[in-house]
Amino acid sequence: MSTKIKQRALDELPHVLHDPDTFARRLAGRTPALFLDYDGTLTPIVDRPEDAVIAPSMRQAVADLAQRCPVCVVSGRDRRTVQRLMGINDLIVAGSHGFDIWSPDDGHIEHAVGEEFGELMASVKQHVSAALADVDGAIVEPKAASVAVHYRLASAEGRRRIAAVVEDVLARHPNQLKQTPGKMVYEIQPQIDWDKGKAVHYLLDALDLNLEEIVPLYLGDDTTDEDAFQALSGHGIGIFVGALDDPEIAGRTSAADFILYNVDEVERFLRELDVEAD
């Protein structure tokens, strides 16, 4: 059983761009392999999920970096949705918090977890959508292996109703479903021992990146990204993305090693990341 590392307050994390020497020492001349969250990392958090289209400059920064080192996107979004929003077809993408992993290389590492829950998740999506149809601001987002219920735009009463519906679904299937917290969203998932951290380890093995000369880097902003930060502790680098004055992350702690304050800083980091040419 793995031991969870001690988490630190966000204001205790060194800033990558403000303390480049510390980051360079951690990198130690090795080749980075990047694992990037999508919402809140490559795009700002927006009110409606469908509006989170990656900016052209960020898209180019990711595409350019992918020509120099391994780059994978690990998102809570549906994998196909992420691919459509990014508009980059040659990246490895792990969607639904790592439940659905796909590679452009002839399916070389195509991998899906929880496929046996497909019928149940379809039923959950139908039930939740019907139960919340008259709740203003409730957005039900179906995914390959989960159902997300966004409540950012809902009123206080609407949020209470949304929470009650989610709790009812979980109570109906206590041994099959779980709820994973996120930023203004309830994520209803199969009760499987799988998360973003396990997805990253799977990708490292599948891509033959568990090498001394490779250092995995994970960038993310949400609570679900903590699984990846924990998974890479001791042999990788975790970078939390978020502003210290953001009320949505007030009081948060993280297992990450460094911090970037916003999406613009992420883009600058990706452009300035030192990758040794072959």
In the three-class reduction of DSSP (H, G, I as helix; E, B as strand; rest coil), residue 22 is classed as: helix
**145 near 187, Cβ under 8 Å?**
no
What is the C-alpha to C-alpha distance for residues 242 and 212, in angstroms, rounded to an integer? 30
Phi first, then psi, for residue 83 (nearest 5°) are -60, -40
Catalytic residue, from 21, 37, 136, 227: name it.
37
What is the C-alpha to C-alpha distance for residues 60 and 66, in angstroms, rounded to an integer? 10
Is 193 among the residues known to form the active site? no
Query: What are the DSSP calls for 154-169, one per residue?
Result: S-HHHHHHHHHHHHHH
User: What is each CA distance from 131 to 2, 142, 163, 168, in whole angstroms?
Assistant: 40, 15, 11, 11
Catalytic residues: 37
